[in-house]
């Protein structure tokens, strides 16, 4: 059987890769891709803690289902914002969206 530590390390690595994507990518859609990776890493942790704890307590899986719903909402609103910004400014590069800066 796989020890819990392997799943936790796997999720931590996936989270770090997603964080790297959020920090370094210039395209707003690519930043949202990184956020998706981070949400998936959290979900792996939740499901792993369900399996390695008390399997009759369903809190881990319920949390994972709610993370799915929140991720769907986040992507819908985030991509709508990106498309709206693209229409007005004709760019999706995060550096160039500085309307609030000055």
Partner 1 sequence: MTAQQIIFMIVAAYTLGSALMVVTTRNLVHAALWLVSTLFGVAVAYALLNANFIAVVQVVVYIGAIAILFIFAVMLTRKDMRDSGPQMNRNWWAGAIVAVLVFAGLAFLLSGWSGFQNTAAELPAEFDAISLLGEALTSPQAFVLPFEVASVLLLAALVGAVYVAFNPTKK
**Considering the complex, what minimum distance in angstroms separates the CB of residue 98 from partner 1?**
14
Per CB under 8 A, 35 contacts partner 1: no
From residue 39 to residue 68, the character string flagging contacts with partner 1 as x (rule: CB under 8 A) and all else as - is -x--xx--xx-xxx--xx-xx-xx-xxx-x
Enumerate residues 61-100 that contact partner 1 by CB under 8 A. Answer: 61-62, 64-66, 68-77, 79-84, 86-87, 90, 92, 95
Rg from Cα positions in the chain: 17
Contacts of 82 (CB under 8 A, 6+ apart): 28, 29, 32, 92
SS3 98: coil
**Considering the complex, what minimum distance in angstroms separates the CB of residue 102 from partner 1?**
21
The CA–CA distances, whole Å, from 72 to 36, 65, 76, 82, 87 equal 10, 11, 6, 15, 23
Contacts of 40 (CB under 8 A, 6+ apart): 14, 18
List residues binding partner 1 (CB under 8 A): 1-10, 12-21, 23-27, 29-30, 32-34, 36-37, 40, 43-44, 47-48, 50-52, 55-56, 58-59, 61-62, 64-66, 68-77, 79-84, 86-87, 90, 92, 95
């Amino acid at each position: 059987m796989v020890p819990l530590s392997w799943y936790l390390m796997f999720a931590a690595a996936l989270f770090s890769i997603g964080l790297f994507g959020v920090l370094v990518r210039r395209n707003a859609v690519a930043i949202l891709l990184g956020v998706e990776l981070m949400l998936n890493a959290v979900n792996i942790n939740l499901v792993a803690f369900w399996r390695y704890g008390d399997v009759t307590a369903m809190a881990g899986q319920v949390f994972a289902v709610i993370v799915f719903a929140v991720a769907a909402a986040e992507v819908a609103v985030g991509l709508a914002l990106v498309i709206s910004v693209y229409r007005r400014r004709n760019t999706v590069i995060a550096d160039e969206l500085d309307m609030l800066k000055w």
